[in-house]
Amino acid sequence: MTTTQTSTITAENILRLFPQVNTTLIGAARNTTSSDNDLEGYDEEQIRLMDEVCIVLDEDDMPIGSASKKICHLMENIDKGLLHRAFSVFLFDFQNRLLLQQRASEKITFPDMWTNTCCSHPLGIPGETGVGLDASVQGVRRAAQRKLDHELGIQASQVPLEKFDFLTRIHYKSASDGKWGEHEIDYILFIRANVNLSVNPNEVQDTRYVSQSELKEMFEDKSLKFTPWFKLICQGMLFEWWDHLDSGLEKYTGEKEIRRML
């Protein structure tokens, strides 16, 4: 699944193509999407979230600036090379079951699809923006804590920052429909915790804890749809990592190379 990026995504090229990118990462001004024709007919709360500022990257995961979630998720921009930072959390209970979520129908991208516990973006705000791998990992840990609370009602005290294991980064691109999609360098985080859920129905319509065999059975069910990044991670890496939850996971953590899965 690993390929070489065919076109170079550099700060110079991105800033030339996208004058909307603000090179001030933190506190960048942004236009509201509340009266945006591209978002007409979508859920009001999901439209509001499109104002959040994602971290725009070059192909080596170096921040260039920030741009709204809407700008970063339009396929017309993605196809020109616009790339942003993301994370995917895999939360396991102490029976080694993985917590899955089914995305809400209100979601603008990839609605109704099953995926890993939580998938989102660190923002261009204090504490979540990092330059260099160590600082970036700490930023996505803070973002993961924030979004686990927002989507699933998991309190930060149940998922301490130091309990998140960073495994690797994947660079992938996928269309949701003709208008929206993802183009991300996605930080993969594992955490083992027993948590209490208070699901936000605007984000998540269902949750399920699964064993490895149960997840494989779900993949065989043609009535279920899965997010593309989740399928990529499952096909390439997840089950091997899962086998080492109790011992040996450390040999898979802290990978410095970016896995290109384009």
Is 59 one of the annotated active-site residues of the chain?
no
Spatial CB neighbours of 57, under 8 Å, sequence gap ≥ 6: 9, 63, 64, 83, 84, 85, 185
Would you state the pLDDT for residue 6? 43
Tens digit of pLDDT for each residue in 206-239? 999 999 999 999 999 999 999 999 999 999 899 9
pLDDT of residue 3: 36
**Catalytic choice (119, 151, 182, 203):** 119
Considering the candidates 52, 151, 184, 203, report the single residue annotated as catalytic. Answer: 184
Which tens digits make up the pLDDT trace of 58-91? Answer: 999 999 999 999 999 999 999 999 999 999 999 9
- Round to whole Å and give the CA distance between 210 and 166: 21
For residues 47 and 160, which has the higher predicted lDDT (pLDDT)? Answer: 160
> CA-CA-CA-CA torsion for 251, 254, 255, 261, nearest 10 degrees?
110
Active site (annotated) includes residue 118 = no
Region of residue 151 (left: phi > 0; alpha: psi -120 to 50; beta: else): alpha
In the chain, domain spans? 11-260
Residue 198 tokens read as 């208070």
Mean pLDDT of 159-164: 98
pLDDT-based confidence at residue 205 (cuts at 50, 70, 90): very high
Higher-pLDDT residue of 182, 27: 182
Instruction: Choose among 184, 192, 185, 143: nearest CA to 168.
Output: 185
Express each pLDDT in 13-45 by its tens digit.
999 999 999 998 775 545 555 456 788 888 899
11-260 topology per CATH = Nucleoside Triphosphate Pyrophosphohydrolase (3.90.79)
